Structure 1
Amino acid sequence: MPGVSQKMLTRTLRQLEVDGLAHRRVEPTSPPAVHYSLTALGDTLVAPLRELKRWAETHMSTIGTTR
């Protein structure tokens, strides 16, 4: 993701795991391959976040003008 450091991405993904929203799977390869997926709880956030994204895209120019 552009503009996101590896450290912050790792920290955020680990917190999502602690919160029960993401599942982490490590493959025992060299170097280890790490895969993340949404848990059932995390999957319940997809629709609300998609709607929030749509709202933001619709109103982005208005917010920019207001600034």
Structure 2
Amino acid sequence: MLQTVIAPIPGEVIQIAGGYIYGLPLGVIYTISEMLLGADIVDMFWLILTSFVKNLSAGNLLDQTKVKKR
């Protein structure tokens, strides 16, 4: 999961360590599932950040009486 969230960590090191610790079948399963979990965490972070920025957009900061509505 760290190789997905923290980009400078090389993925091969994590994958080899997973294979060494858990064996080949479980190492593959754990590594793939943790990579998917890490990707989901990063996606949720960007989803929350973009929705927060969208709520702070210039249209919401202006006085609503001066903004034309379509």
Q: Which has the larger radius of gyration?
A: 2
Higher relative contact order at CA 8 Å, sep ≥6: structure 1 or structure 2?
A: 2
Higher strand share: 1
TM-score of the aligned structures, taking structure 2 as reference length: 0.31
**What is the TM-score of this pair, normalised by structure 1?**
0.32
